[in-house]
Amino acid sequence: IQVSRSLLKEIIPRFGCPTRISSDNGLEFIHQINKHLVEALGVKWHQYCSFHPQSSRKSERANRTIKPIITKFCLETHLSWVEVLPMALYAMRTMPRTSLKLSPFELLYDCVIYTDPGVSRLGT
């Protein structure tokens, strides 16, 4: 129910309805209400095997990117990973990618976000 609620309250109003959702077979994703919701919205739902990293390359790549950022934030701030996760995501989303020289934020919103030099320094 939480996944459906987040889709309806946060994701769709902000970014529009996705055409495809990929998830593992975790109970929170395969709950009956989620199946009805994606059918009603006309969303293609791709499920892959849990604990099979090759099936979820994009999320595994994101995990490899964010883990060192979280580690650095935790070491520098002495906070838990749960507490630094929002700032680690912010740093990751505002760091330019080498191939495009644009951050994910810039690609999504077509503008540059103000970045506090201290936050940028923590994320690198």
Domain that holds residue 4: 1-47
Same domain, yes or no: 41 and 61: no
Same domain, yes or no: 1 and 23: yes
Angle at 96 between CA 83 and CA 108, to 5 degrees: 80
Q: What is the pLDDT of residue 83?
A: 95
Q: What is the pLDDT of residue 122?
A: 52
Q: What is the pLDDT of residue 95?
A: 86
Same domain, yes or no: 62 and 104: yes
Same domain, yes or no: 41 and 5: yes
pLDDT along the chain (124 residues), means of 10: 87 90 77 81 82 68 90 95 93 84 87 68 52
How many structural domains is the chain composed of? 2
Angle at 63 between CA 12 and CA 94, to 5 degrees: 65
Reduced to 3 states (helix: H, G, I; strand: E, B; else coil), residue 46 is strand
Q: How far apart are CA 124 and CA 120, in angstroms?
A: 7
Reduced to 3 states (helix: H, G, I; strand: E, B; else coil), residue 45 is strand
Q: What is the pLDDT of residue 73?
A: 95
- In angstroms, the Cα distances linking 70 to 45, 60, 67, 74, 76 are 30, 15, 5, 6, 10
Same domain, yes or no: 80 and 36: no
